[in-house]
Structures are given as structure tokens and as C-alpha cells.
Structure 1
């Protein structure tokens, strides 16, 4: 867990403190407070006899009796008007306050189990760096999108049942570690850790989120698919990856986008099978590969920063 936190801190240092977002965001939706007289949404627009005591017109207090009258239990005119529902109150405008609702789903594919590789120029294993980047993006996205109703879902994709690649969920230990590292955000209801039965289930989860607001699906891939000893295992592993993102080590290309638009979902991809990782983002104009010109640790951090900014500005 300590290494994941250290990697998250290192990645977070490459991210800006704040970002300036466009005026028009995706997935704007009414807030849970829709009562026109509820405090403090909206401004005053009229005077009526409905609403809470916090909106009471101050001149109504003139009907209250003095302290001696109240001490004797005598009913004053204020209480009579209150019982009859005749007290005047300020009424707030009828417009409904809206804000952006975003759901960001990080799909951690089981191939990440094969990303336990240490590169000479990187301080930690690829898997540790990838998980640290997820933690850093959770922290920063919560700060950048503080005005939005943000939901961050970490989808742990399971292998198909009856496969020959090992345990169905090889990232179960990492899931437990992330639950500890992100416990503050989990308790706040912002982050959820969810096990899904396959790639299609992850797609369905992200597509369901479009009914409530903007939805982004980020695929985290990893593992040397070209080095599998069993051909059947290789076919099974490639079947776990969406057709739009299927890339073996020999097929990977910076010129070909590996992410395909899926309805209203914006899909992004981060492939840890390469050093530095391959990255594809969709900033609203369709998926596009992000070029890389270096192969050092700073190139890794720049990749993660590019993905975080694409999610925040989308």
C-alpha cells in the first residue's frame, strides 16, 4: 500500500492545482433540492404564505406579544396567524438549480496482473504506477470537479468462468488495498469499487450511467499478451479486450486510435503493456492517440496528466 501511495504522490505532483473548465459541461441535471421555497437555492421573487420559518418576513414579528404576555401563556396574534397559516414569507424563484453530473468508470482489466514488471527508468512496477495514477486522478478530479455531482467507479473486470488463465479475479489484493487508500472517498459516496463479470458488463455499467449524466469509460490494460505460452490463453486474453482496443505488442501503433465511441460514452485507454504506456483519449472529437517522444519516468507522468486533464475538461 505504501508504494501505491508514493506513486500517487509522484503522479499528483505532475498535475496542476486547478483547471479552468469550459462553461458548458456535460450531463447537467437538477439537484435533489427542487422546492422553490427551500433555503438557500435561488433568490427571493415574491411574498406568500408558504415556505419555512427561515424565510419569514421580518415585519411579521410585530404581532408577537411581549415577554410578560408570553410568560402567562396568553396566545398572541403571531401564534394565531401561524396556526391559521397566514404568516407572510419570502418565496424563492421557481427556477431549479442544476449542476453537472459525471460518472467516470475505470475498468481495470485482469491483464494488469501481468504488468508486475519493473522498468529501469521507473521507480515502481508498472501495476503499482498504474494504481497510483488512478489514486492521484481520483484526488485531483474530486478537487477539480468540486462543483459537479461526481461518481468515480473502479470496475474490476473478472476473467470469463472456466478459463485457463488462473483465478477469475487476479486483482483482488489490489482491490483491497485501494479500498484502504481511498476509504475517505468511499465513505463520502464518491468512489465505489465494483466487481463486474467481463468487458461487456463494464460497457453496460458505463452506458447505464449516461441516463443520469455524462459518462466516461477508461480502460486500463496491461500484460505482455504476445508472450503467452498457450495459444488458447492468448486468444482468451485478447477476447477480454474490446475489439476497439485490441492491440498486441506487435500491433500497437501511435497512429491508430484504440478507443471507439460507444453511444454517449467517451472511451479512453491506457495500455501498460508498453513503456511508457500507450494512451488514447476522447475529448469530444472522437478518440485519438496521444503521441509520446520520451521514454523516461517524466513521460509516464505526462501520460497520466494528459488523461486526467482529458477527463476533467471533457
Structure 2
């Protein structure tokens, strides 16, 4: 995920540069981002809602907060505010069951067997019934604990399900098949106040899929760490750009397939199976 530079990120950089003292930061915030003579536009102005945790008598960010609190007060506002202009994206949150994992877990189900449930994810992005993004939050930040590993594996497994399902639903031509590597699923693991953003895609020959960490971020808890939080905002804006690029690629693939003779179209079948979860290592005494 490369750096994202536009008017908004340049404004964020100005805030970072003026975060030495509270007075400088307040004065910079009070200067309008958009010239006051310019007519109001939702797509440029949004709704201003500044977090007051840092100046409250009791800074809630310093508490040992639950997973639900972190989702409600940190991750959800960050995601919602950045993606407000993506009108096609439907944001589902609060342990929503993934359609992609439901489909994968029931591929071999006999008609007489009971349908299996899918994985529940903290935040999902859907367009219609296709998923492009997932986010998992956990509280335990202890590096000696296996929980962060299992949460990472859960997220990557979910991303694999989403990627397989998305590719299987598309009809490709020789031209659009070259864009398969540009159809990327993204995800966030948020552990306490630390987060990691991941991406996953297949190579052009669909022989291997690749998952990689695009960046790490941290939500600041003190006045001195405000630049960390502002840098996190820039990372989420880069994520937004990358997700919208994927959506544009999928739209283009569908559009070209509609005007192509059906005999010149092909689909993706027999994608590699979801990798098994790593076994927990037990040290023998």
C-alpha cells in the first residue's frame, strides 16, 4: 500500500506539524479546511466531530477497555468517517456472519445435512452480497499469548474465503484475466490500540495466493501521541483508495464481460483450498 497524497493528507500533515503544543494544535484546527466562501459540500466538508478524550479529566483511552468499547469508540468511527463517500459500500458491524465463509463451509454439504454457520466478523464491507473487507478486534496485546495469532489466522482465512468467492463470481476475458492480481481483499486486525492492515491476492495463473502486511498503526493515548493517531488516519485513507481501486477493477471486469460473446468468457474453478490453521505450539518441559 503506497502513500496516499491529496488535499486531506496534506492537511493532516499540517496538523502533525502543529501538534507541539495544545494551543498551536487548537489554532490549526480552528482554521477551515475548505475556504469559508466556498459553498458547503458534503463530499468536501463531512461533519466535523473531534475526539475530546485527550482533554477530558479522565482519559478513557488509558483504561483497559473491552473489545466492544474499542470497536464502538475507536475503529468504527475511524472506518465510518473515512468511507462516508463510498455510497455503494454497505458497512456491517457487530459480529456479522460472513457470506463467504458460509459458502465455503457448506460446499460439501449434502442436501439432508444441516447447514453450517459462517464465521462472525466485527466489521464487513459488502456491495450487494459480495464482501471486500473484514476487520477483527481483540483486547489481549500480550505477545506471549497465542490469541493474537489465532485472530490473525481467523482474519486471513476470512479474507481467503472472500477472495475465492469474489473471483468465482466473475467472468473473465483474456484481457481482464490480467487484472486478477489487482483484485485484492483487505483486512484489519486491531489488538488493543495497535492495528495491522493486510492485503491478499492471487497471482495471474491462480497457482498461489499471497497475503502481506501493508502497514502497522497505533491509536495515541496521550497528547504527545496525537501524531500517531493522525498518521493512522492517513493509513485508513490509503486503505480507502486501495479498496475503491479494487471495486473499480471488478466493475470493469463485469462491464467487459457483458459485451463479450459468452464463448469467449471463462470462470475460475477449483481454487486452492483454504489453508489450515497453525497448530498452537506447546513447550515441553
Shorter-chain TM-score above 0.5 = no
TM-score of the superposition, structure 1-length normalised? 0.27
Q: Comparing both structures, which one devotes a greater share of its residues to helix?
A: 2
Whichever of the two has the greater Rg, that structure is: 1
